[in-house]
Structure 1
C-alpha cells in the first residue's frame, strides 16, 4: 500500500526495482508483487495470548497465596506491630505455663486429660482460648500476646487440628518460633495418626524440630504419655 501511494517519489520505478529473494520471485519486478502470502499477526490472537498470560499469573498467585496464607498473615502482623512476636520471657514473668493450641472438636480430651493432668494434678497454668480469651479483642493480636505470655506453646495435633484454619495459623507461629531458634518452647502432642492428606512439609518440619509426646489408647501407653508431658513441661 505504501509503495503504491509513493511510487511517484521513487526514481525509475518500477523497471529498476527487481526482486532478489525469495527464490520464486527472483527477477520479477517489484511492482508485480502481491503480498497475498504475508499474514500480519491477528490482533485477536495476540489479545488471546495476553489474556491467557494474565489469567495464568492470577491463578499462580492465588495458589501461592492460598498455600502460604498463614505465613503471610503472620508477616503482616509482624510488620504492623514492628516488634518480635516472641519476646523472651523469664519464667517468673510468664503469665501461663502453656498456651494450648487445639481444635474445639478435641475439647473433651483437652479437659479430661490435659487439664486434669497438668492443672489439677501438677498445678501448671494453661491458656485455653475458649476459657481464657477475653471477648471484644482482636483475635490474631490476642493469640500472639497470649503465646508471648506463655512459657510453652503446646500443639495438640489431630485430624481436627490440621483441618482447622486457626489451628493452622497457630502451627505457622510454632514453625516461625522454631526458625527463630526457640524450638524448646514448643511441645507437640500427637493425639492420633493424621491422615496423609494433612501431612504437609511444614508439619513434617515441625515434628522433626520439636519435642513431642504421643497419646496412646493402652493403659501403659497413657502412663508413658503422662510421664513424658510432665518432663517436657519441666524443661
Structure 2
C-alpha cells in the first residue's frame, strides 16, 4: 500500500500505459491479471498479523509453567492420590455385620522390612494364632487400581498394623498407606491401630504426623532377648485380638 500511495502522490513515471503493469503477487491477483492502476487495497487487506511472536511466547510460558509444576506434582503425588481416594470414597458402603471381616489385620510395612513380616509376624499371628493378615504383595488383587486394593482390604480388616522403622519413615509408599488409614483411625479411634516398633526411629526421619502418633500411642517394641520377646508377642496378639465395635466393613 505504501508503494501504491507513493506512486500516486509523487506521480512517478510508469510508462505510457500504467495498466500494463500487472501485479505479480499474491497469486490470486496474478491469476486475475490485476493491473497496477486497478490495485486499490484497504488498510485491513494490507495489515499482516505476525503470529510468530505471540505464539512462541505463549508456548514458552506454557513450557516454563509445566516445568515448574512437575516438581510440585511429584512432591505432592501421594496427597493427590489421597484426594482422588476421597472423591471415590462414597463408593464404599458400610455394613454393621461383624462376620464381614476377612482379615484380623491389614499390615502396612516397608519392603525393606518384608523379611521380618514374613518370617516373624506371619509365623506368630497366622500360623500359630490363626489370625489371617492382609499382606500387600500376597493378598492384593492383580490388575486392580492400587488405591482400591488398599481401601477395600483395609475395610475388610479388623485392625491396621503398622510396622514402624526407619525404612517405614523414609518410604513414600508407607506414608501414603498411613494417610489412607487415618480416615479409619479418625472414625474409630486408636483402638483399631496396632503399632509395632522394630527399631528406634531417628528424629530426622519423623514427619509431624508420625511423630504425633508415636508420642501419643502405645506400641510394642521388638526385641531379640527372650523375656522381652515373649512379652512383645503377648502384647501384639492381645492388641490384634482386642475386639472393637466398628461399622467399617468389607464390600460384598
Asked which structure has the greater RCO (Cα within 8 Å, sep 6+), the reply is 2
Residues 145 and 195 of structure 1: is their aligned pair in 2 closer, same or farther, counting only changes over 3 Å? Answer: same
Q: What corresponds to 1:70 in structure 2?
A: 78
Match of residue 10 from structure 1: none
State the distance in 2 between where 1:232 and 1:99 align.
13
> Equivalents in 2 of 1:137, 1:147: separation in Å?
15
2:34 match: none
2:187 equivalent in structure 1: 180
Is it true that 1:106 corresponds to 2:113 in the alignment?
Answer: yes
Worse-superposed segment, 198-207 or 177-186: 177-186
Residue correspondences, number: 177
| Structure-1 separation of matches of 2:138 and 2:175 | 20
Deviation readout 1:80-133 (Å, 9 max, x if unpaired): 343568x46543210111111111211111111111110111100011011111
SS across alignment from 2:219: strand
Give CA deviations for 1:160-181 in whole Å, capped at 9, x if unaligned.
1122221111111233322334
How large is the Cα RMSD of the aligned pairs?
2.6
* Residue 90 (structure 2) aligns with: 82
Assess, with a 3 A threshold, how the Cα gap between structure 1 residues 90 and 198 changes in structure 2: closer, same or farther: farther
With normalisation by structure 2, the TM-score equals 0.62
Map Cα deviations across residues 47-68 of structure 1 (whole Å, 9 max, x no partner).
Answer: xxxx9xxx9xx79x939x83x6
Which structure has the bigger radius of gyration?
Answer: 2
Asked whether 1:94 is paired with 2:101, we answer yes
Asked whether the equivalents of residues 105 and 160 of structure 1 are also in contact (C-alpha less than 8 Å), the reply is: yes
Matched, 1:147 2:171: no
Long gaps (5+) in structure 1 = 1-50
- How far does the alpha carbon of each residue in 1:5-25 deviate from its partner, in whole angstroms, 9 at most, with x for none? xxxxxxxxxxxxxxxxxxxxx
Question: Using a 3 Å threshold, how does the CA distance of structure 1 residues 190 and 88 change in structure 2: closer, same or farther?
Answer: farther
SS of the residue 1:192 aligns to: coil
* TM-score, reference length from structure 1: 0.67
**Equivalent residue in structure 2 for 1:161, among 164, 168, 173:** 168
Partner of 2:224: 217
Aligned to 1:232: 239
